[in-house]
Amino acid sequence: MGLTFKNKNMKIAVLGAGMVGRAIALDLAKRHIVSSFDVSQSNLKNLKSRNPEIEIEMSDLNNLDSYADLLNPFDLVVSAVPGFMGYETLRKVIECGKNVVDISFFPEDSSTLNDLAIKKGVTAITDCGVAPGMSNLFLGRCNEIFNKIEKFTFYVGGLPKIRKKPFEYKAPFSPIDVIEEYTRPARMRIGGVEISKPALSDPELMDFEKVGTLEAFNTDGLRSLLQSFPNIPDMTEKTLRYPGHIGIISALKESGFFNKEKILVGDHIISPLDVSSKILINEWKLGDEEEEFTVMKVIVEGVVSETPMTLEFSLYDEYNKETQTSSMARTTGYTCTAMVELILSNSLNEEPGVFPPEFIGKSEEGYDFVLKYLRERGVNWICSSKISIY
């Protein structure tokens, strides 16, 4: 029969009203009472213009001391803040005793907050986007189906349809979060050994239907999967961009434009990263009506009933003109809101704690619910396998 919505008109706080946070708030407001908090008045006004029933409040979310009063009225919290402030935001939300779904993709290890969540009786689901997020969900489900998984790989990219030199890239995220992707060492497992390689390494060209040729390179997208599945000998993740992007970014990186150490420039002390982020926020800013797409491929190889088997999960999704919602906001945001509904339905059957999405994938009902939820919103995953798992 599957899971169904069991609760509605719950009070939900969405922290962050950027492009993805806005998509989350608008989706949840169809069934719940939603309030959005952001330091940007323009972000909040944009959201309010799309749904006047959503309450908005200008708030400096870096002020963690305000959270106890801020979050007190709410049944659940969604954290859609930038990655650099994500960990402390999640920690404070848990301290406030609120169930939470997080998409901030912070670099710290979320499992270090597990004991706090247990103590506070909180369920926290982290990394609830498209990648990480859906990649975790698929591997969690496959781990229940395969007798043995030998290799796990996924490729993902969000790109503008119109290619503008020099970067040929736009993002709904903060430039600092994107730069973090390009500078953080990429953790992976090769031949049973966990190693790290520089981001942007091991470039390869790949052809995708509807898109053409893209270049793939190592980034640190496996995250919790390395700990959750220690017995899978080969695990890698790569980001996708238009060909030539690696060379431009590598030149900036090697020339010091992404360095955090501050330097003296005239009478000012400033970090090159701050300057680069300020410049790139205009170069990389995705317009509200700018057409873009998300392309993703998840490959799981192993053995099912003594038969070698490969499952391939593919996604191609575009900007939605009707709702004026970017593909990256849709594919990330609706995965998040599906997880919100799972928590509100009290169907996870988990003790309190911090859980990445692979734990949701263990449940066939939970897995089916997320895929159905996304399909209903026009986000359609395709599985190229003879084994029917959804």
pLDDT of 388 > 50? The answer is no
pLDDT (0 to 100) of residue 219: 96
Give me the amino acid identity at 354: V
- When the candidates are 3.30.360.10, 3.90.25.10, 3.90.580.10, 1.20.58.110, the CATH number that belongs to 134-318 is 3.30.360.10
CA distance 155 to 299: 9
Give, in words, the CATH class of 11-129+328-379: alpha beta
Strands 307-318 and 381-383: antiparallel
Q: Where are the domains of the chain?
A: 11-129+328-379, 134-318
User: Is pLDDT of 172 > 90?
Assistant: no
Round to whole Å and give the CA distance between 117 and 355. 10
Closest residue by Cα to residue 336 from 57, 76, 97, 88:
76
Q: Report pLDDT digits (tens) over 19-45.
A: 999 999 999 999 999 999 999 999 999
| Span 111-154, pLDDT tens digits | 999 999 999 999 999 999 999 999 999 999 999 999 999 999 99
Q: From CA 97, how far away is CA 71, in angstroms rounded? A: 9
Return the pLDDT at 99.
Answer: 97
How far is Cα 384 from Cα 375, in angstroms, rounded to an integer?
17
pLDDT higher than threshold 50 for residue 289 = yes
Tell whether the model's pLDDT for residue 348 goes beyond 80: no
